[in-house]
Amino acid sequence: MSHYTIGVQYRFHSAGQGIFASGTLQADPHADRFHWVFDCGSISLAEVLRPVLSRYRSLVVDDFLNLLCISHFDCDHVNGLTDLLDGLRVETVVIPYYSKAERLTVAARELDPTPEYLAFLSDPIAFILENAGSVGQIIVVGGAEGDADDLQNLGRIPTEPAGDLRDFLDGPRRESAWRFKPSEWPNLDIGLVADEGTVALAHSLGTSIRVCPGSLEAAAFNPQVPVGWEFLFFHKPIAQKLREDLLKNLRKLLPTSLSVGSTKDLLTLLQNEVKRKLIKKAYFRSIVGKVGKEDLNSTSLCSYTGPQLVHLADCWITRPWPDLLMTVGRGSEYWHEHTPWNCSALYTGDANLKPLANREELREFLTLNRWYQIAVLQVPHHGSRENWESGCSGEFSNTFSIFCADENHKRHKHPHREVVLDLMERGPHLANKTQSWTLIGRAHFTTT
């Protein structure tokens, strides 16, 4: 047997009502780090998140981020992207597939959407490309080859990537030993997610756009350690019946406004307050008496990260190397000693884990081995009772349950008491407007 060590850190930053989570991997105390970010938004953007993002950016060496994952497109999960991406070189961005009708509905549900947020919803890929310093590849999870665009079919656009990702990785930055590689390169029709203008922009910037079905498996590799670090992404789309009803009601209420063939057309529609109200009305007509009003939150992209299990005999986390620490604001830091099979994390965004079928589907995708290796669970939808079934904590084995919420927010009042009580035996912790939470340590691997 052989023994290897990777320094690992999971951090949930103080973002109030929203989520900004990050992580790092490090093969030895003096090696470069693999950086990732999961979601980047807050209701209290200017007051809370913007200063946190400024401190975080100061700690990211060479302005380089290996992986950015966005769970879904609600404002409190994405409105910090402009500050995060400014001048940042990003190797890989992973986002969920949202149809135009879904993006219209998300905008309509927002009480007072900013012009910047509407620009993001009109074309998330172009928004990321225009705000980042550079992007190697954008992977959209959840598109299917049979999906016709719901408002207007964009037709087929060639799927060849704009450039070789190796050109990006070997570009003008500090050489990194880490490589992020999907197990299979997704290659569905990018006409599902980008119009011709966005594709042309990606080509001009040397960015690959890739589309894959409902899940994606990838890993970060470092030649110093033969065990890769996995990143698995699972997308749960909205129910087909809801999608059909939504389109039917949109066409009834906006019969002359749905010829949306370009980003500009969509942005014009989003900017019209009267039409946003009609879109919201169409959405609530679609769900009344059928599903909960938070049903669109089930579209969240869940992300799992942890050591690859192939040839892995044992794994645990111990006290970290001192120079692994990254202090970003006030918070709590934890390490735990010799807990076998307990060093992975599951980010859920606003996923709906209330239905048993949704939990079983996610568990089946991850497999039981990964499911029982989860140490850190980001509790879905800020601890909302609408997305969590009281009593289901017994189905999990996580050590820590992280609630990303502003407990004093008058409108949302998250986390809900019954969800916190259900997870009392699973180490509940709150990342709020003033407090962050971090798990830091060394992941030890014994391989067969």
Whether the pLDDT of residue 438 is over 70: the answer is yes
Joined together, the tokens standing for residue 304 give 């799992």
Lowest mean per-residue pLDDT among 10-19, 156-165, 235-244 = 156-165
Whether the pLDDT of residue 171 is over 80: the answer is no
CB 261 within 8 A of CB 198: no
Lowest mean per-residue pLDDT among 56-65, 141-150, 361-370 = 141-150
pLDDT score, position 440: 81
Q: Which residue has the higher pLDDT, 232 or 160?
A: 232
pLDDT band at 445 (very low <50, low <70, confident <90, very high): confident
Lowest mean per-residue pLDDT among 130-139, 150-159, 329-338, 387-396 = 150-159
pLDDT score, position 154: 34
C-alpha distances (whole Å) from 430 to each of 16, 65, 225, 233, 404 are 10, 26, 33, 24, 6
% of the chain surpassing 90 pLDDT: 46
pLDDT score, position 8: 87
Q: What is the mean pLDDT of residues 80-100?
A: 94
Residue 122's Cβ-side half-sphere holds a number of Cα atoms within 13 Å equal to 23
Q: Where are the domains of the chain?
A: 2-239+299-447
pLDDT score, position 14: 94
Q: Which residue has the higher pLDDT, 330 or 39?
A: 39
CA-CA distance, 220 to 308, in Å (whole number)?
10
What average pLDDT does the chain have?
82
pLDDT score, position 127: 97
State pTM to two decimals. Answer: 0.89
Q: What is the mean pLDDT of residues 185-200?
A: 79
Q: Which residue has the higher pLDDT, 128 or 296?
A: 128
pLDDT score, position 99: 85
pLDDT band at 319 (very low <50, low <70, confident <90, very high): low
Q: What is the 3-state secondary structure (H, E, C) of the chain?
A: CEEEEEEEEEEECCCCCEEEEEEEEECCCCCCEEEEEEEEEECCHHHHHHHHHHHHHHHCHHHEEEEEECCCCCHHHHCCHHHHHECCEEEEEEEECCCHHHHHHHHHHCCCCCHHHHHHHHCHHHHHHHHECEEEEEEEECCCCCCCCCCCCCCCCCCCCCCCHHHHHCCCCCCCCCEEEECCCCCCCHHHCCCHHHHHHHHHHCCEEEEECCEEEEEEEECCEEEEEEEEEEECCCCHHHHHHHHHHHHHHCCCCCCCCCHHHHHHHHCCHHHHHHHHHHHHHHHCCCCCCCHHHHHCEEEEEEECCCCEEEEEEECCCHHHCCCCCCEEEECCCCCCCCCEEEECCCCCCCCHHHHHHHHHHHCHHHHCCEEEEECHHHHCHHHCCCCHHHHCCCCEEEEECCCCCCCCCCCCHHHHHHCHHHCEEEECCCCEEEEEEEEEEEEC
Q: What is the mean pLDDT of residues 419-442?
A: 91
